[in-house]
Amino acid sequence: MFLRRLTYFCRPVLSGRSAAIALLALAAATAPAAQARKTVTHRHSRLHALAHAFVNVTLPAVGFLPDDDDTVPDDGQKYEIKMAHPYTGDVIDVVYRIGDTYIPEALDQLNNFLRDSHNEEVNEYDPRTFDVLHTMLAKIGKPNAVIDVLSGYRSQETNDALRASGTTNAAEHSQHIDAKAVDLRVPGVPAPVVRDAALSLQAGGVGYYPKSQFVHVDVGPVRKWTYSPHGRHSHRSGHSRRHRRG
């Protein structure tokens, strides 16, 4: 209706061809503004959703390992964790803690699952690592999600070989060597969301690798970094020279 009235109004002044050109110019001028409004609205909605994405849960207190003569409790909150090796298809699903007691048998299974894939060496993981991963998943509202493990424990031999190859960001004093770190993805969850959930716990180191879209999580000193092959010393904070990276 508006366009028809405008055309009629312009008829005494403009020819048919000139009026058509004027109308096209008017439409072109208004379209970008409408598109900009649509884009801004979408962007604000996205930011609003991310700002309220995390569930209000806290990291549990450090548990304890029972003595050989102690029995594993039956009552208490059960802490379950699920992991997968995406390249082999291996999967583990265990309750590693009940209440404030870690389950030794479950920890042994997790240690074996996270073994050095290059030489099959196994080390004892700091069980606090699993508390952090469990709480991270709860934070993003996916407590039953499966964690895709890209790298678990690394022997000194493997870490040295990776550093010598120059193809990875393996740190000289990596938390992977101490069995305190996991490089991971959570299928269906953007890596930045996983990173932010881990950072919110303030329980150790968190590294973000945007090119490969994975996150490093450890229970070493609290620090954070973003790794770029062309700017590997950028965007780091809260770390010492000894613990610069994962």
What pLDDT tens digit does each residue of the chain (246 aa) get? 444 443 433 344 444 555 444 444 544 445 444 454 444 444 444 444 455 469 999 999 999 999 876 788 889 999 999 999 999 999 999 999 999 999 999 999 999 999 999 999 999 999 999 999 999 999 999 999 999 999 999 999 998 998 898 767 778 889 999 999 999 999 999 999 999 999 999 999 999 999 999 999 999 999 999 998 765 444 566 644 344 456
Give the chain's domains with CATH numbers: 2-51 (no CATH), 78-226 (3.30.1380.10)
pTM equals 0.74
3-state SS of the chain? CHHHHHHHHHCCCCCHHHHHHHHHHHHHHHHHHHHHHHHHHHHHHHHHHHHCCCCCCCCCCCCECCCCCCCCCCCCCEEEEEEECCCCCCEEEEEEEECCEECHHHHHHHHHHCCCCCCCCCCCCCCHHHHHHHHHHHHCCCCCCEEEEEECCCCHHHHHHHHHHCCCCCCCCCCCCCCCEEEEECCCCCHHHHHHHHHHHCCCEEEEECCCCEEEEECCCCEEEECCCCCCCCCCECCCCCCCCC
